[in-house]
Structure 1
Amino acid sequence: MYCRACLRRLFVGAVLLLLIYFIVFRRRSSRVFLTERDLNHFSRQTVSQRRIPRIIHQTWRTHRVPERWNRTVESVRRYNALQFEYRLWTDDDIHEFVRENEADFYQHTFVKYPLNIQRVDAFRYVVLYHLGGIYIDMDNGCSQSFESLLGALEALDPQSTHLAAFPRTSPIGISNGFMISTQGHPLFYILISRLLLFNHNYLIDYLTVMMTTGPTYLSINEFYFSSESAIVRVIDEIVYSSIYTWHTPGNSWHGRDAQWILYIYHTIRKLSRTKLTCVVLIFAFAILLIFCRRRKSR
């Protein structure tokens, strides 16, 4: 019988290989997109029932927003002041909300995360599952009210009980820096329930965050999600980055490991298919070698 440590290493290795596959070959599920054409056609239609709560969620350590994000936060609040409730969640608020609404997860996983960004990421899924609405990072500014975007999502799928939407992102999948959801969406239930399963050390901080709570974690779980009554749409880059939002430097949690990984990724993208396959095999072999050496040293 395999020991628990061996199974954990096998799981981590398998997930890392899956990550490599996603990044290199860019295989996508049969996703449902929200395009500029959809937006122009459906944003002006009147819907009989609003399903997405008009709440905007943002997070920061305290109520004192960093000066570098004053313009972005102010734009989000100004353009959506008439239609939306605005909630700024501090670290204390986050702990209280997760403890009250997901007590088991809070006790066994949430408080044990080594990095605070993991708690912030996990909170995003918890708050959208329990309250619904929009989550947006502070480094994202707003160009116009999100009301027409939510109206288009509701008009596109009038029969669906649950709606969710995420923007496409690089290097992989979708982003958790901007998320839209109805209250109680099944995908967010899955995201919360699997946080413990993915909670491992993935060798370096950047990969650990991405795989345990961040965009890669979201992308993998969304990739395999399927439901007829719960729609998930991927927002096209033009709709997200040109029509509704603008961006300032963010990624406040990134360290040198993140910079190196992103540099390697952009370098790899320039390689041919054959060379990419060789890189994947070499990297996979290196991961297995690291795990084997760790096992022998114990």
Structure 2
Amino acid sequence: MRLRSLTALLALLSIVLLVGVVVPGVLRFVHMFGAHPGPALTQEEIEAAYNSTRGEKTRPQRIPKIIHQIFHNWKDPGNESIPSDWDEVRATCKTHNPDFEHRLWTESASREFIAENYPWFLKTYDGYKFPVQRIDSLRYFLILKFGGIYLDLDNGCSRDLLPLLYYPSFLIDGGKGTLSNNIIGARPGHPFWQLIVDSLIPWSFYYILPYFTIHYASGQWFVTAIWNKYFSRMPADVDEEDNIYRVMMDMGEGGARWVFFTQGRGGSWDNWDNYFFSYIGNVMVPWIVRNVLWFPVVGAVVFGGLYWLRGRSVRGMKGYKVVADMA
């Protein structure tokens, strides 16, 4: 009896763990690849809104004229000269935005910034297993502290970025899968980036594989999960200063036209599992969310309907008895 009771208890605990922890965790993970809450704008809409109010002081500029970019040469430590193609891409932003402050954060300058302004994070910063995680986390602290616009070095500018400065904060939505952290902007001290910074240590785990760890501990999966959390807490009458926008940058066919940015060579942090899981994350999971996850719901409805009809048939057989087979 004791063994049977122990088995039943373990079974009950397993069910509780499955229902209370595993299933919600899986649902939260899958939810990151679905539709995202919060306001979205195409680059054309941002351009049109700026042109319609040009010369009129109807909207305040919220984001300062600073462009942050980061270069950590982990393949050749100590060499702070960026590759020529990235330097050319970076030059496009200087050309189109000559009155902006352009800051390039090297590895030594980055660590000094964290040590001076956020010493409580230095142990986590130094302890990241993959160097790109330091770049991921650093951009959040820079935007929180100084405000401005952050761009990856493989993103350039095709025109001036002034129209983007009239929004309190923004990041990029590629239209498929999770949100992106390759281009972000904000006023200093924006609460979304404060929540991002506060969440870095609690999310700082090794998730078995490099791709999972980079994306889920500090990268775009992490940003998307915190985005969902931020909007779940946001009141309906949110102050515009605390709002944050998704700027649509779908590179696929039929996507909204690009106005402000260009795309160059990326892939500087790819690991052995990156291409495989990138395909799963950007293509397979969104397809499953759109086309497969509703199957169990339909199945449950169909099964429930058949079960209900069968029950009606049995209840309708009043006055009859089931006679045993005499054969």
Q: TM-score range by the shorter chain?
A: 0.7 to 0.9
* 1:1-298 to 2 correspondences below 5 Å: 15=25, 17-23=27-33, 26-29=34-37, 31-35=38-42, 36-45=44-53, 46-47=56-57, 49-61=60-72, 62-81=79-98, 83-107=99-123, 109-151=124-166, 153=167, 163-169=168-174, 171-225=176-230, 226=234, 227-228=238-239, 229-237=241-249, 242-265=258-281, 266-267=283-284, 269=286, 275=292
Q: CA 1:193/1:54 → structure 2, altered by over 3 Å: closer, same or farther?
A: same
Distance apart, 1:215 and its partner CA: 1.0
The structural deviation recorded for 1:251 is 2.5
Partner of 2:75: none
The Cα offsets for residues 85-115 of structure 1, whole Å up to 9 and x where unpaired, read as 00000011110001111111113x1111111
Structure 1 contact 55–86 (Cα < 8 Å) conserved:
yes
The CA distance in 1 between the partners of 2:211 and 2:171, in whole Å, is 21
Which has the greater radius of gyration? 2
- Answer whether contact 1:57 1:89 (CA < 8 A) is retained: yes
Give the match's secondary structure for 2:32.
helix
Contact kept? 1:130, 1:183, Cα under 8 Å:
yes
Give the letter for the 1:125 counterpart: Y
CA distance, structure 2, for counterparts of residue 134 and residue 236 of structure 1: 16
Distance in structure 2 (CA, Å) of the matches to 1:49 and 1:201: 42
Separation in 1 of the partners of 2:47 and 2:85?
31
Alpha-carbon shift at residue 118 of structure 1 (Å): 0.7
| In 2, Cα distance between equivalents of 1:214 and 1:253 | 12
Instruction: Give the unaligned 5+ runs of structure 1.
Output: 1-6, 154-162, 280-298
Q: How many residues align?
A: 256
Matched with 1:4 is none
Distance 1:176 1:15, change over 3 A: farther
The CA RMSD over aligned residues, in Å, is 2.8
Decide which moves more: 119-128 or 216-225.
216-225
Q: 1:12 to 1:122 in 2, by over 3 A?
A: farther
Residue 294 of structure 1 aligns with which residue? Answer: none
Query: Which sits farther off after the overlay, 227-236 or 259-268?
Result: 259-268
1:11 Cα offset (Å): 7.7
**C-alpha displacement of 1:267:** 4.4
3-state SS in 2 of match to 1:207? helix
The alpha carbon displacement at 1:37 in A equals 3.0
Question: Per-residue deviation at 1:50?
Answer: 2.8
TM-score (norm 2): 0.70
Q: Unmatched 5+ residue regions in structure 2?
A: 1-16, 73-78, 297-327
Measured in 2, the distance between the counterparts of 1:92 and 1:11 equals: 41
Contact preservation (8 Å) 1:268, 1:276: no
Distance between the aligned counterparts of 2:83 and 2:122, measured in 1?
28
**8 Å contact kept, 1:168–1:234:** yes
Provide the C-alpha distance between the structure 1 equivalents of 2:68 and 2:221, rounded to a whole number of angstroms: 21
Supply the distance in 2 between the matched residues of 1:59 and 1:240 (Cα, whole angstroms): 27
Tell me the CA shift for residue 51 of structure 1.
2.3
- 227-236 or 238-247, which moves further after superposition? 238-247
**Normalising by structure 1, what TM-score?**
0.77
